[in-house]
Every structure is written in C-alpha cells, then in structure tokens.
Chains A and B, each alone.
Chain A
C-alpha cells in the first residue's frame, strides 16, 4: 500500500468528513478532515492501519483562514509513509476533541498545543500545564501570531506546578530539578512504597527556550539551521539536517549527492560520539567510573576529528538549506578511517568485557522493563523502542540523505530491560562505523551546495525525519512569507521517550530509578537532594543525599 492508496482508503471510509487529501512525493500524505471526525480518523490510523503516533502541532492561521490549524502526525513505518491529519478549528471557539483516550502517545503534545496556541483538547485525561513556566499568565499563548516573541510578562510569586496525587499509602521522592552532574534540569516525583516504585510524575520543560516561536517570527530560513542545531548540544546536527531536508522538500530543492554523503558521514560520526558519551554516563550512574573515563578517552580523538571536518567540536554549523557549507577534503578520509577503526577496536574490547562483569550486569539486567505494548502505545523512539522489540529505525523505514544507498542494520533486542537498551547502542555504534566506511568508499565528487535562485514559495508544507542517536527527530515546515516559515514544528526523540518513564519505573526498586531514567539517554546521574513527604503525617523533611543514603541505603554516586 502506498500513500495514494492509504489516502483513498481514508476517503472511502470517512466519505464527507474528508475535506481534502493529497500526496507529496512518494511518502507524504496530507489529509484535511472535519473536527468532528478527528477521533475516529485517529483511531482508524492507529488501530486499523497500525500507524505510530508522532506528534501534534497547532498553527495560528487566523489571518489567513480565521481558524487554528491542528495537525496530528502519524507514521506508517512498514509502508514508509508519514501522514499529517489537518483539522481546522474556528478561531472564536478554540476547542478540539482530544485523541489521547484512543492514542495515548498524544498526551503531551495536546497539552503543549493548549499551552502554546490555546486550543483546548476536550476530554484530555490530564489537562495540566506542560511547557510554560509556572508563573506564566494563563491566557497568553506564545505561538499565536499576535503575541510578540520577546514578550516578558511580570513574574508571579508563590506559584507551583499542579501535582499528581500519589497513590494511597505511597511516599513521594522528588528528584530534581537540578542534578549535580549532567544535563537538563527536570523534576521527577517518584511514588514509592518502601523500596518499590509504584508510579511517577514529571514536570519538565525547564529548558524551554521558545525555539519554534523564534523560527516563525524573527529568524530567516538560513538562520534556523543554527538555532535548530542548538536544540540539543550532543546530537544537534540531526535537527539541522532534518530542518534543512524539510525545507528542501517543501521548496523542491534537490541537493547534490556529495552533500547527502557529507551529511550522512557527519550524522554517523555524531552517533558514534553520542553513544560513547552515553555509555560513559550510564556507567557513571551505576557507579562504574572506569568505563566513564575510558569511553570519554576513546571519544576525544573523534571530537578533534569533528573539529577538523566541521570547524567546531560540536554544534557543527555545517548545514544550510540546499546543502552543506564545508567539503570533507579527500586527504582527511584516511584520518577518519583510522580514528573510527581505533574506536571500533577498543569498543569491541570493552563490549567484550562488560557481559562478564556480574556487578554491572546485576544493575541492568531485568531492571527498567518497558514492555513492547507500552512502548508502542506511548510512541517510544530510537534505541528505547528497539530495546523493547520494536523494529523501527528511520534510516531504514524512511531513508534520507544517502542511507538508501548504504547498508543499515536495525539493531533490535526484545528483552525490554536496561540491558537491552545498552546492547542496542553497543551494536549500533559498531554498525555506524561500518556505515562510515561504506560512505567514505562510495563518496561521489561534485558540488556541495544546490543553486537557489528564487525565494521560497509560501504555503507549501513538508515533513522529514532523521534517526538521531536517541531516536526519531521529526520536523514539519509550513512555508511562509518574509523569508521564514509560517510554522516550524519539531519533535525530539526524548519528547516521546520521556513519556515512557512513569510506566518504566513502576515495579522497580528505588535504587534502579537513576539507571532506568538514564537508559533512554537523558542521563540523570544522581540527585541533588531528596525531599521525602511522609503521607501519613504530612511532614516534610529535606534530606541531603548522604542522610538519605544512610537512612534508606540508597546506592548512588558522588
């Protein structure tokens, strides 16, 4: 079945509710439906067609159409199709039916659309604020076009996020918002009964920087790749690649083959770098710093190599709409080969040593179980999904750049635990090294930048995805006037994977929480302090980690 047939099927099934549908390229289907039929169409795609939910986006089109455009994105991986389901919601009654009851993965993004565009998902099971700061005014929606990108409402005192109530008899262990070693602040409230975790609540988006708003209101097409790259400092290149691909598709720009290969090579270098980094952090979380030091030592020559190829150790700044900015000089090929071969050899040695290490294995085997059903239901991506037996990999399912000409293996494990996610990444690194060799061998000559003679037309749209080290990165662009997109929607893989954390934690010992959270690669290593709320007495005590460890024998590091 191709996109054409799927579109026909939807029209046959829902008849007058389908206002319009069209197909762009071989793999993109755009359907516009009435708001009344949204839930049914979503259920049909998700249940009957076996589609995977990607994300939801809201666009303020009051100027053009006097309506808000709500778009749900799905992917049909076997048939290699991305599906955008558009619904227009009247501007004076911004409400739409929630699809979360039938598609659980839509939970966060519907909340985000409420926060950012102000279209309420009616019937949403958990309609709390998700993205905006706690003291942000209730009726100000930043992504609406009449709200300035640099608006700074006055702060409010004493506001706290709405919290989930813990189950009867459970205690609450807050983790965060600052973690002493790494990465983004985030605030988990883990519900425990004794040592066992029975649930969790999450308040994140401490790092929300309003990137989509900047992209749609101040930056121009060729400035966005650089801000996209800074969505993530570890795997930022995937975002700039995905953005550029999306705009190129929307505008019908064909990029030169050599540029595709260069993008592929840098993407795979980034994957190797990111997986090395992750293994080190994961080992650090479970208190095995030798592996941290060794993997990061192995990684360093790769960082120098990236600096040599791109001009910066990370946030490479290689992409522009139409191609890449720098060529990889042929005299560097051999240096790339020798660096990755050395990493490959040492990596294999390390990977050979790990399975025999029973203390290490005790911490990862059988912990942090994420079942295949939950992973699909909540839309897990990347190694998290592949560790739960879901064979999805954008490089194979929706090939981009030069991946259709290269041999890519899907590394899948079905034991669903932390170990599976470790093994997936270990194998993927070795596979990435193979892909790099193929790409270097096949690299064609030619230009690296397409000729762009005209301004980009307005009103076109395109979708594109890239397989990041953490999973699928998805971008959608609706082109606009003034040399910038009217709407640019981004989905990062952790957005999907984070939603899997509460079910993943349930049933684990508290001690396994850090590695379980760490296993999908946002890398929380240990807690700054813990606040324990005793449910029965209602007393709050603040413990330092040492006290906490002494009292609860909580293993940790630092």
Chain B
C-alpha cells in the first residue's frame, strides 16, 4: 500500500542520497558506476543529490556500525517523507561477512525500515539497475525463498518443493 503510494508519488524521477554506513567502498563505487556512461541511470531520472533534504531515496551501503547509528538515524529523519530506503550489497541486506562482529549492528533493516534489497558483493551495476527497475515498477523481482526436501522412499529422485513463499 505504502509502496504503491510511493510509486505514484515518484512517477518520473527519484533523487537519491547515498550513504556509506560502514561499507568497504565496493558497493559505493558500483553505485557511482551506475551513473557513468555505460549504465547511465540518469536516463531513468535518477540523480544523486548532495543533501538528504533533497532526496526521495536513501541508498544504504554497508553493515551499520556502532559509531554510525546516531548519525544514520539523524540522516533518515532529514529525508522528507514519503521516502524509500534501498539497501545495497550483502552487508546492508544481511550484515555481510561481519554480521556478528562487536562493532557491527547488522543489516540496514535493523535500524531503518528498508523497502528494497539488492544483494551482491558488490552487486553488479546491472543488479543495481534491476533493483531500481523493481522500485520503479519496470521489472518484477526474480528471487524467492527456496524450501526443498529429499523424500525418504525416493532418495534418488528429484526433490519436491514443499513450500514456497
């Protein structure tokens, strides 16, 4: 419902503000890469802005570190509503390789409500574009959780899908 509203509110262009909350820079560089000639996200009206107050979308890269939490909350509050949060990269999605470290709080959704997730380490620029396309309603998500089971009487047979979300 909220998402539909968002899609209606930004029919043409999303202005994004990018913040690194503890990332290794891999995802940050890919985000910039998306704006350069080969991928050119500006053709979808996407523009990187210099202030959170101008932004519709917050791009979060990296695992949220302890030191960054207060600043990140302030930053989120500074973005005017309605706003979207996109978590880019495995760290922002699930905490990444350091999910349980003493100084890492976890994925971005530990602190913020996240609307779109783009896993990858780092995600290819195409994957980021695909995420943007999903956010803009141009493409459907292609991934869903998998639950498989080997059956006792037919251990050699093809596993059956017991459940799918």
Contact = CB atoms under 8 A, between A and B. Distances in A.
B75 interface: yes
B107 interface: no
B24 A232 contact: yes
B22 A209 contact: yes
Interface string B15-35: 001111111111111101100
Contact of B69 (A155, A296, A297, A529): A155
Contact of B50 (A132, A149, A297, A558): A558
Contact of B102 (A149, A184, A231): A149
B51 A206 contact: no
A180 B25 contact: no
Contacts of B38: 297, 300
Best-buried of B18, B67, B68 by chain A (most CB within 10 Å): B67
B18 A314 contact: no
Nearest to A274: B29
Interface of A is mostly: loop
Contacts, number: 159
Interface in A149-167: 149-152, 155
Given A149-B101, A231-B24, A234-B29, A300 B51 contact: no
Contacts of A149: 100-102
Interface string A255-287: 000000000000000000000010010000000
Interface stretch (B6-14, B58-66, B130-138, B157-165): B58-66
Contact of A528 (B51, B103, B124): B51
B93 interface: no
B20 A183 contact: yes
Interface in A225-267: 226-227, 230-234, 236
A236 B103 CA distance: 21
B67 A234 contact: no
Contacts of A293: 36-37
A90 interface: no
Interface string B79-119: 00000000000000000111011111100000000000000
Contact of B26 (A205, A226, A233, A280): A233
Contacts of A313: 30, 122, 124
A526 B101 CA distance: 31
Contacts of A528: 50-52
B63 A297 contact: no
A185 B19 contact: yes
Contact of B51 (A147, A180, A213): A180
B5 interface: no
B48 interface: yes
Contact of B67 (A134, A142, A147, A230): A134
Contact of B71 (A177, A230, A280, A303): A177
B121 interface: yes
B149 interface: no
Q: How large is the interface on A (under 10, 10 to 19, 20 to 34, 35 or more residues)?
A: 35 or more
Contacts of A47: none
B49 interface: yes
A178 interface: yes
B147 interface: no
A180 B100 contact: no
A136 B67 CA distance: 9
A226 B53 CA distance: 37
A150 B100 contact: yes
A135 interface: yes
Contact of A234 (B17, B21, B26, B98): B26
A496 interface: no
A303 B29 CA distance: 12
A142 B102 contact: yes
Contacts of A280: 36
B27 A209 contact: no
A178 B75 contact: yes
A136 to B, nearest CB: 7
B101 A184 contact: no
Contact of B20 (A147, A185, A544): A185
Best-buried of A218, A280, A312 by chain B (most CB within 10 Å): A312
A207 B37 contact: no
A280 B33 CA distance: 11
A238 B46 CA distance: 34
A209 B124 contact: no
Interface string A28-54: 000000000000000000000000000
A528 B52 CA distance: 8
Contacts of B25: 182-184, 232-234
Contact of B18 (A180, A233, A303, A526): A180
Given A152-B102, A178-B71, A180-B48, A296 B26 contact: no
A544 B78 CA distance: 12
A328 interface: no
Contacts of B68: 177, 185, 206
A210 interface: yes
A211 interface: yes
A209 B104 contact: yes
A207 B67 CA distance: 8
B58 to A, nearest CB: 11
A312 B27 CA distance: 13
Given A296-B37, A297-B38, A315-B121, A180 B103 contact: no
Contacts of B32: 181-182, 296
A430 interface: no
Given A149-B102, A181-B48, A227-B97, A207 B22 contact: yes
A214 B48 CA distance: 35
Given A210-B98, A210-B104, A230 B65 contact: no
A133 interface: yes
A110 interface: no
A280 to B, nearest CB: 8
A60 interface: no
Given A209-B101, A296-B37, A233 B24 contact: yes
A545 interface: yes
Contacts of A178: 19-20, 52, 71, 75
Given A178-B71, A185-B71, A209 B28 contact: no
The 8 closest A-B CB pairs, nearest first, are: A233-B26, A558-B50, A210-B101, A296-B36, A233-B24, A133-B66, A133-B67, A233-B25
6 contacts: A142-B102, A147-B102, A208-B67, A209-B101, A236-B26, A545-B51
Given A210-B98, A296-B32, A300-B37, 8 more contacts: A150-B100, A178-B20, A178-B71, A185-B68, A213-B101, A233-B23, A280-B36, A528-B50
